[in-house]
A and B are shown apart, each in its own frame.
Chain A
């Protein structure tokens, strides 16, 4: 659960779609940060047991922040910058061929 330090810290804004819902994020946010700011608790379920996971390290080494971005699976959400119109989906289990 996260909130912006100051409203100024939330702009300029970008609108993306996360799990089907429009979300306003700050230009410069990573997808992972935008998801936290939007109140999402988890970003994926593991391909091993289906357990829910959320970003753990925010620096690109834990691979718990995996999400599907614009139809491509297993992208590290903490390394992808938000863009207007970006489509983000939770990474549910295994990658799919062609996605």
Chain B
């Protein structure tokens, strides 16, 4: 695939090849709309179905049947006739639906009549002391190493945090024969009470059945320390041990070679926010969620969001959101959509959402792990600490954009993806106001770094030349 193969315009452009993107692209292509699917990775599947077309872990019992659903989605996509562009980084999107895409060192602008953003989620930041040490990574990162390269951790491996992914990866590791020294479970004890009102739909959902099986299998084999209220990774040029407290006991510590952290995922908002799609703070999920209608359409004409980027709801829900967004796009472009199909999709989506409220409540991460203090690094790129942030608030800094000027947090290449939530929450806590009022970084293109040379080759207008040269 070269730049020459990408057309100037399409009916539908879809960004992100996870379950939402695959489903949406399959639907719009099957509806006869010219469809392009851009994805940054080299293979289809997004993150949850990472490496589905080429994983060396071919024994299906290791990764589990839920993972292999991805193969079905890929097969349907491949026979739909949609154009697939791997290795394509989408770095800008305008309100007029012009997409800036970088492929093999060269950028071009592509127009679409409809755009569906399916850029999914990323792991919540987990700012504990020492989280930047080599040897510390997200549980998701470790899972990607397993899926895409068949790599298992060697040495002493400890998982820490809370949420379904932690148990899933522990289970997958056990299936593959890896040793896990311990799971430091940070699920707050009081969450059980908080989750109780939501338990009935959960009990009737697939999550309960799958989850229970997983949990039991892992707890049989792995030492689990519950009620962990503090974590500290220590070491020199890499992590050597993790210290923790649970209950009222004094701090204990254990040696570690690989410390895998996870406390849930949050929408990857950068592209959507950069085009001006309004987001609201969700107190349940502790992250920014876009304002969308029932089909995923935003207030920006022709731009929709599907998948976890529309709100964390898992892979199955992502498929149905993708299909609903595709239906809305098809209808907007004059293709008929059977009402029965749509009703079915909405029903299926509702079914997938059943039980999520329970999971959200049960695994809501503790404040101590979202709002660090002291010298703990908040912005990994610029190495801004929690102390610098709270001190700036005391000086009157009201929000994340002023905070950027004060202490450079959010100015690095990750563009706030790993610090934004922490910064918003720290400022909100220090000021005593809700995160909604504090706001988030103002995001602009490029939402992923691209080279000066690539941008220099993009189209220029006479007006733009005049604006710069006054000639």
Contact = CB atoms under 8 A, between A and B. Distances in A.
A64 B150 contact: no
A98 B381 CA distance: 22
Nearest to B50: A59
B374 interface: no
Interface in B179-218: none
A83 interface: no
B370 interface: no
Contacts of A42: 134, 237-238
Interface residues of A, number: 40
B258 A1 contact: yes
| Residue of B41, B140, B151 with most partner-chain A CB within 10 A | B151
B56 interface: yes
Contact of B383 (A4, A8, A48, A79): A48
A99 B412 CA distance: 19
Contacts of A54: 134-135, 137, 238
Contacts of A74: 413, 449
Interface in B105-143: 122-123, 132-138, 140-142
Given A28-B54, A49-B383, A62 B414 contact: yes
Interface stretch (B152-160, B337-345, B459-467): B152-160
B383 A58 contact: no
A28 B148 contact: yes
B101 to A, nearest CB: 15
A37 B418 contact: no
B383 A9 contact: no
B150 A6 contact: yes
B198 to A, nearest CB: 29
Counting chain B residues whose Cβ lies within 8 A of the other chain, the interface size class is: 35 or more
A53 B137 CA distance: 10
Given A57-B137, A59-B140, A9 B380 contact: no
B144 A3 contact: no
A2 B152 contact: yes
A38 B320 CA distance: 41
Contacts of A79: 40-42
Contacts of A56: 132, 136-138, 141, 380, 418
B141 to A, nearest CB: 4
A1 B154 contact: yes
Contact of A62 (B145, B148, B153, B417): B417
Interface string B24-50: 000000000000000011100001001
A55 B148 CA distance: 15
Interface string A15-54: 0000000000010111001101100011000101101111
Contacts of B155: 1
Contacts of A61: 122, 268, 414, 417-418
Nearest to A60: B40
B149 interface: yes
B144 A59 contact: yes
B47 to A, nearest CB: 5
A18 B18 CA distance: 31
Contacts of B272: none
B152 A63 contact: no
Contact of A58 (B62, B133, B137, B268): B137
A86 interface: no
A57 B149 contact: no
B57 interface: yes
Contact of B150 (A26, A49, A55, A62): A26
B176 interface: yes
Nearest to A4: B150
Contacts of B258: 1-2
Contacts of B135: 1, 41, 54
Contact of A26 (B41, B56, B381): B56
A81 B145 CA distance: 13
A53 B237 CA distance: 9
B425 interface: no
A2 B56 contact: no
Contacts of B437: none
Contact of B122 (A3, A6, A59, A64): A59
Given A61-B414, A62-B418, 20 more contacts: A2-B145, A2-B152, A3-B151, A3-B152, A4-B149, A5-B152, A5-B178, A9-B150, A36-B151, A41-B135, A42-B134, A51-B132, A52-B238, A54-B134, A54-B238, A56-B132, A58-B137, A59-B122, A61-B122, A63-B381
Interface of B: 40-42, 47, 50, 54, 56-57, 62, 122-123, 132-138, 140-142, 144-146, 148-155, 176-178, 237-238, 257-258, 268, 380-383, 412-414, 417-418, 448-449
22 contacts: A1-B135, A2-B258, A3-B151, A6-B56, A9-B57, A10-B56, A26-B150, A28-B56, A30-B149, A41-B134, A42-B134, A51-B383, A52-B237, A54-B137, A55-B137, A57-B123, A58-B141, A58-B145, A60-B40, A60-B448, A61-B122, A63-B381
Interface of A: 1-6, 8-10, 26, 28-30, 33-34, 36-37, 41-42, 46, 48-49, 51-64, 74, 78-79, 81
Q: Which 4 A-B pairs have the closest CB atoms?
A: A9-B150, A54-B134, A58-B141, A9-B56
